Amino acid sequence: MQNKHDKRTKKDKLVKHKTIASIVTPLGEGGIGKIMVSGPNAFTIVNKIFAGKGIADLQNAVNQKLYYGYIHDKGQRLDEVILHIIRKEDSFTGEDIVEINCHGGIRVVMRIYECLQSSGAKGVPWEALLQQSFENNKMDFVQKEAFQTIVQAHTKLGVKVLLDQHAGALSSALRQGLEIIEGIERAFHKESWYHGAVIHTDQHEGEEKSLILNLAREGREALLDEQEILSSLENHIRCLLETASLGTALTTPQVLVILGKPNVGKSTLINAILGEERMLVHHEPGTTRDYVSELISVYGVPFEIVDTAGIRDTEDTLESMGIEMALEQLQRADKVMAVFDNSKPFDQEDAEILSALSSWSMKKSSDDLHQNVNTYKIVPVINKCDLTVRLDRKKIESAVTQPLCSISARNREGLEDVKERLVGELGTTYKPMRPIVFTRRQYCLLVKADVVVKQVKSYLSTGDKTCMISGLIDELKKIFTACLEGHRYD
Ligand SMILES: Nc1nc2c(ncn2[C@@H]2O[C@H](COP(=O)(O)OP(=O)(O)OP(=O)(O)O)[C@@H](O)[C@H]2O)c(=O)[nH]1
Ligand SMILES: [Mg+2]
């Protein structure tokens, strides 16, 4: 958990912390419950309520050792516990820690937690431990964000990627960015200085003049350096931005809505993807009456997959309510699988699906692109390809931009292609310790940095507004530091 990263950007001031107590296991029935006490008075506070076997005073406890005993309140035993002592030099918060492992369940844990508070600890949510760690320079803001997000990870890939970011993969890439910016700054100052010298060339004669000409040449080299370093920064930012669609897809499941007229095999397709017969499938059209949603993992990327009622004109009140709900679900979709039946001719109902999709994509594309890390997408699926073709595919092909996927949901054929289409562009083959942008905050800051770099590049190449460059380089530094340290940047 510990990380001895470069603390250059962090203030050196020592934060005097309160001693805090936090329940770090979920409150509910379970084998054990754990409360962490962290801060300068952790040992003194726990001493007041702990009667240990073979230890009278926790101040004398050995670092990284376990101690058995009882927690008591006003002479009454509350629970049998095992304490884990971690002294501040080894703890992830940078403070002395006592971990109290007690019996699980809400009552026991809450009683001990209350006791700790009456003995002087401040009761806090578990995230406050991370804040303490951050303030004590044990992790930077990005590492803290990674830690906070791991608990919400839905897939193994998500955990793997976030653990690497917690270990500092993205932080090192951001620090590398800062180093490049410092290089640009040095090159820029060198160039301005030479440029200043060149201006006075006419006032010099003989040797002095040749010295100045040399300086002028070096000045031009510095300018070339600058352009080169700027391009490498631009490239560095672009590579990081490209990882954001995978990073954010791993931390926030995208909504995948399955749309199609009744009986095309939507529920069968979802069951095939889920790999189990969970949803109701029937040969009569109109089986799915409202919508059903499930969390699925497609090659390690989580999706909330939503099965909807088939869309058609109907007199049935219940069914038309379901159709209304399907269209409502479409509004919150990030991705849509539009399903068509290979064994039936293209009809009015299919045309209505295409028209609903066209309004949906129009609305999606008008959303600010920078606001959406992951772009919307329609995957057109032709199901029941095991049956004789009666569908006019051209009608669908002309209305959608993506190529059609041919499948047989019943026979589980063609599913790999469908899944590949959903995550293909994310690049799910992950190399260990690869820096991945995984929050919108990081993404938006890097988008801003990209805009500033492009501005500097254009001012440099046109020789326009060069007086602004130094200020813009400062902006770049601020953006990267804000990303690493969590400062506000507007
Ligand atoms: N031959 C064949 N039949 C399929 C295939 N996929 C689904 N079916 C059949 O088509 C019928 C309808 O399937 P569902 O999955 O309930 O269709 P749906 O689109 O969810 O229907 P609604 O919920 O009524 O809108 C069932 O009898 C399925 O067994 C396929 O790939 N090939
Ligand atoms: Mg259905």
At residue 10, the pLDDT reads 47
Burial 415-452 (b: 16+ CB within 10 A, else e): beebbebbbeebebebeeeebbbbbbbbbbbbbbbbeb
**Residue 147 located in a structural domain:** no
Nearest CA to ligand 1 atom 8: 265
Whether residue 377 sits in one domain with residue 253: yes
Mutate to test the pocket of ligand 1, among 268, 316, 329, 418 (most ligand atoms within 8 A of CB): 268
At residue 76, the pLDDT reads 94
CATH code of the domain containing 234: 1.20.120
Alpha carbon of 399 to ligand 1 centroid (Å) = 23
Nearest CA to ligand 1 atom 9: 265
Q: Which atom of ligand 1 is nearest to the CA of 281?
A: 16
Whether residue 177 sits in one domain with residue 73: no
Residues with CB under 5 A from ligand 2 (ion): 266-267, 287-288
**Residue 215 located in a structural domain:** yes
Alpha carbon of 220 to ligand 2 centroid (Å) = 68
Whether residue 474 sits in one domain with residue 349: no
Q: Which atom of ligand 1 is nearest to the CA of 283?
A: 27
**Residue 6 located in a structural domain:** no
Q: Which of 426, 444, 466 is the last residue of a domain?
A: 426
**Residue 326 and residue 288: Cα distance in Å, rounded?**
10
What dihedral angle (degrees, nearest 10) is formed by the CA atoms of 303, 304, 309, 311? -50
Whether residue 224 sits in one domain with residue 112: no
Count the Cβ atoms, other than its own, within 10 Å of residue 357: 19
**Residue 69 located in a structural domain:** yes
Count of domains for the chain? 3
CATH code of the domain containing 71: 3.30.1360.120
Q: Six-digit token pair at 148?
A: 């906070």
Whether residue 393 sits in one domain with residue 297: yes
Nearest Cα neighbor of 446 from 237, 166, 163 is 237
Alpha carbon of 285 to ligand 1 centroid (Å) = 9
Q: Which atom of ligand 1 is nearest to the CA of 285?
A: 24
Whether residue 273 sits in one domain with residue 371: yes
Mutate to test the pocket of ligand 1, among 323, 327, 390, 410 (most ligand atoms within 8 A of CB): 410
Count the Cβ atoms, other than its own, within 10 Å of residue 315: 6
**Residue 181 located in a structural domain:** yes
Mutate to test the pocket of ligand 1, among 263, 339, 412, 417 (most ligand atoms within 8 A of CB): 263
**Residue 458 and residue 453: Cα distance in Å, rounded?**
9
Nearest CA to ligand 1 atom 11: 283
Low-confidence residues of the chain: pLDDT under 70: 1-16, 190-224, 276-291, 310-323, 367-372
**Residue 148 located in a structural domain:** no
Alpha carbon of 155 to ligand 1 centroid (Å) = 29
Q: Which of 426, 449, 465 is the last residue of a domain?
A: 426
Residue 83 gets which letter from DSSP? E
At residue 311, the pLDDT reads 63
**Residue appearing with tokens 């031009």:** 220
Burial class, 43, CB count within 10 angstroms (exposed 0-12 / middle 13-18 / buried 19+)? buried
Pocket of ligand 1 (CB under 6 A): 260, 262-268, 281-283, 285-288, 309-310, 383-384, 386-387, 408-410
Whether residue 382 sits in one domain with residue 309: yes
Domain that residue 314 falls in: 248-426
At residue 279, the pLDDT reads 54
Please report which ligand is nearest the Cα atom of 415. 1
**Residue 126 and residue 66: Cα distance in Å, rounded?**
22
**Residue 377 and residue 334: Cα distance in Å, rounded?**
7
DSSP-assigned letters across all residues of 415-477: HHHHHHHHHGGG-----TT-----SHHHHHHHHHHHHHHHHHHHHHHHTTTGGGHHHHHHHHH
Read off the pTM. Answer: 0.83
**Residue appearing with tokens 């002395």:** 96
Whether residue 27 sits in one domain with residue 131: yes
Whether residue 331 sits in one domain with residue 202: no
At residue 188, the pLDDT reads 77
Alpha carbon of 265 to ligand 1 centroid (Å) = 3
**Residue 162 located in a structural domain:** no
Alpha carbon of 264 to ligand 1 centroid (Å) = 5
Nearest CA to ligand 1 atom 16: 281
Residue 37, strand partner residues: 21, 98
Alpha carbon of 366 to ligand 2 centroid (Å) = 31
Whether residue 450 sits in one domain with residue 357: no
- Backbone dihedral region for residue 137 (phi beyond 0: left; psi -120 to 50: alpha; all else: beta): left
Q: Which atom of ligand 1 is nearest to the CA of 264?
A: 19
Sign of CA pseudo-dihedral 219, 223, 228, 234: positive
Whether residue 385 sits in one domain with residue 316: yes
Whether residue 372 sits in one domain with residue 283: yes
Nearest CA to ligand 1 atom 21: 263
**Residue 293 located in a structural domain:** yes
